[in-house]
Amino acid sequence: MGKPTGFLEYERVENTVADPSARIRNFKEFRKMLPEAERMQQAARCMNCGVPFCQSALELKGRVTGCPLHNLIPEWNDEIWRGHDRFGLARLLQTNPFPEFTGRVCPALCEKACINGMQGDSVTVHENELWLIEHAFAEGWIKPLPPARRSGKSVAIIGSGPAGLACADALNRRGHSVTVYERDDAIGGLLMYGIPNMKIDKSVLRRRQELMEAEGVRFITGIEVGRDIGAEEMKQNFDAVALCTGAREARKLSAEGTDVVKDGIWYAVDFLKDVTKEVLTKQDGTEQGGTDPEVAQSGPCGMRDLVSGRQVVILGGGDTGNDCIGSVIRLGAASVRELEMMPEPPEKRRENNPWPEWPDVKKTDYGVEEATWVFGQDPRQYESTVKAVHGDDAGKLTAVTIVRVSMQNGKITEVPGTEETVPCDLLIIAAGFTGCEKELPEQFGVALTGRGRTATEAGSMQTSVPGIFTAGDMHRGPSLVVWAIAEGKACAREIDAYLMGYTEMI
């Protein structure tokens, strides 16, 4: 333990954040990391406690607290404090292949379990992790490390989200020949097209792709397995296949009028994808590179034309709803209202929600902050949903009817007499996902659960079809990037054991 009194001497200091007045002008990342000396002090706050809950992934009351990757957090925090950054990097990469992803988009389950948080402020684990990997890239420490020998076995990974990438990375390092198929024009899954550029600049994904390609992973984009290549052909060409295509089946809007009103209603996954595509592409269709994504603010722009001056309603809270708020703010929305069916959470933990349980408290993220700054009020409306949509004779959305709801016997029910019709010409549905798209698993003959997930035995990634494995959201259900990475690694271990008869992968 580098500094036994560090948690007493130093207060928690977070990365600086650009003011909303500046950051809403573009889609650039807007958080700036602390200087190294201050980062060392933040790492010194880690107590190296006897039982580090931060790396436990402990399930309490059905919620997980602590890191699902079991990151060796006290160890690399200690190394950062001592100035042994390369040793810290080695300990970080021991468990997490992509800290540049989790350091940007993970909600920091580790910090929720930090023992410093029991009485005060937890350690800035999330930001320490990001600083360490970005410092390593800047110093040139991250170099391709192709395997010394190949096993002669081949594996196809279908889907290039965090689960697919983690599975591919681990299997390639083991010496297997790995090919990743992605139906979109770029890898990353929801990291690429489901999370806006201001949260994770897409150059971060391209940097990781180039590194993995230099290590021997083959990426094939713009090809949809099941349509462009059949399942039987994949089985014949590869010794094992991993299905990692996510849970992309959006929850449908069950509101009156949706059979008539079509124009002006978007699902969040489609909206965010089109926004990102436009941010990354100039008007002539060439790559913008993610370094100066101002395209949404200059010249003719389809998504800006769609949003600018519109009265926007976003159905659904959570990270996706917040990302939609941040996006429409940048695209010039005239107003924003976000509907959340659940009650407003408390500002602080309740007595029946003690540490180290996951804290059920109110979270105000960047998008809500920006909307509050622009419009002068919090855009969130709790215990509400859309009951009906209204349009003109051409089927173009003009208004929505909002109704209050309450939880009764475990079911959400409408509160009679609370209907309110408000102007709305853009409705974005960010109500989550119901499971994986069924066509691909059906082609492979893979069984699904009643909740739309690929079925496996408990604790296994092997599907009902020998040699066909699964990982990530299509197996676990809609979840976090860190869980997808953990599932991808677990899937790789099981595939390795299937191919070789044993595995030494961790």
Same-domain check for residues 349 and 239: no
Q: What integer pLDDT is reported at residue 407 of this predicted model?
A: 86
Q: Is residue 148 part of a domain?
A: no
Q: What integer pLDDT is reported at residue 71 of this predicted model?
A: 97
| pLDDT mean across residues, the chain | 93
Question: For 6-36, how does the pLDDT look when each residue is reduced to its tens digit (9 = 90+)?
Answer: 999 999 999 999 999 999 999 999 999 999 9
> Sign of the C-alpha dihedral, residues 194, 195, 201, 204?
negative
Residue 454 vs residue 289, higher pLDDT: 454
Q: Which of 109, 139, 169 is the last residue of a domain?
A: 139
H or E element in which residue 27 lies: none
H or E element in which residue 435 lies: strand 433-435
Cα–Cα distance, 506 to 503 (Å, whole number): 9
The pTM of this model reads: 0.94
Same-domain check for residues 167 and 290: no
Q: Is residue 146 part of a domain?
A: no
Same-domain check for residues 324 and 288: yes
Residue 231 vs residue 432, higher pLDDT: 231
Q: Is residue 506 part of a domain?
A: no
Q: What integer pLDDT is reported at residue 326 of this predicted model?
A: 98
Same-domain check for residues 55 and 123: yes
147: left (phi over 0), alpha (psi -120 to 50) or beta: beta
Residue 283 clears pLDDT 70, i.e. is over it: no
Q: Is residue 468 part of a domain?
A: yes
Given a contact cutoff of 8 angstroms between Cβ atoms, the answer to whether 184 and 193 are in contact is: yes
Same-domain check for residues 282 and 408: yes
Q: What integer pLDDT is reported at residue 292 of this predicted model?
A: 39
Same-domain check for residues 202 and 226: yes
| 291 band by pLDDT with thresholds 50, 70 and 90 | very low
Question: For 80-134, how does the pLDDT look when each residue is reduced to its tens digit (9 = 90+)?
Answer: 999 999 999 999 999 999 999 999 999 999 999 999 998 889 999 999 999 999 9
Residue 412 clears pLDDT 60, i.e. is over it: yes
Same-domain check for residues 454 and 350: no
Q: Is residue 286 part of a domain?
A: yes
Q: Which of 113, 139, 165 is the last residue of a domain?
A: 139
Given a contact cutoff of 8 angstroms between Cβ atoms, the answer to whether 454 and 440 are in contact is: no
Question: For 452-484, how does the pLDDT look when each residue is reduced to its tens digit (9 = 90+)?
Answer: 999 999 999 999 999 999 999 999 999 999 999
| Tokens 């016997």, residue located | 409
State in Å, rounded, how far the first CA of the chain is from the last one: 26
Question: For 53-77, how does the pLDDT look when each residue is reduced to its tens digit (9 = 90+)?
Answer: 999 999 999 999 999 999 999 999 9
Q: What integer pLDDT is reported at residue 289 of this predicted model?
A: 37
Q: Is residue 226 part of a domain?
A: yes
Same-domain check for residues 36 and 173: no
CATH number at residue 40: 1.10.1060.10
Same-domain check for residues 165 and 309: no
- Under DSSP, is residue 340 helix (H, G, I), strand (E, B) or coil? strand
Average pLDDT score over residue span 161-177: 98
Residue 298 clears pLDDT 70, i.e. is over it: no
Beta strands in 138-253 (DSSP E): 154-158, 177-182, 218-221, 240-243, 249-250
Residue 164 clears pLDDT 60, i.e. is over it: yes
Same-domain check for residues 127 and 21: yes
Cα–Cα distance, 499 to 120 (Å, whole number): 49
Question: For 327-366, how does the pLDDT look when each residue is reduced to its tens digit (9 = 90+)?
Answer: 999 999 999 999 999 999 999 999 999 999 999 999 999 9
- Side chain identity, residue 132: L
| 506 band by pLDDT with thresholds 50, 70 and 90 | confident
Judged on CB neighbours under 10 Å (0-12, 13-18, 19+), 192 is buried
Residue 449 vs residue 408, higher pLDDT: 449
- Give the count of domains, the chain: 3
Q: Is residue 147 part of a domain?
A: no
Q: Is residue 465 part of a domain?
A: yes
Cα–Cα distance, 339 to 321 (Å, whole number): 9
Q: What integer pLDDT is reported at residue 119 of this predicted model?
A: 85
CA-CA distances (angstroms) from residue 287 to 49, 212, 223, 280, 303?
A: 48, 21, 20, 6, 17
Boundaries of domain holding 106: 6-139
CATH number at residue 484: 3.50.50.60
Same-domain check for residues 382 and 406: yes
Q: Which of 115, 139, 163 is the last residue of a domain?
A: 139
Same-domain check for residues 438 and 470: yes
CA 502 distance to own-chain centroid = 32
The single-letter DSSP state of residue 54 is G
| Angle value at C-alpha 264, between 261 and 266, nearest 5 degrees | 105
Residue 293 clears pLDDT 60, i.e. is over it: no
Q: What integer pLDDT is reported at residue 411 of this predicted model?
A: 86
CA 354 distance to own-chain centroid = 26
At 54, give phi and psi (nearest 5°): -55, -30
Which tokens in the block code for residue 49? 């406690």
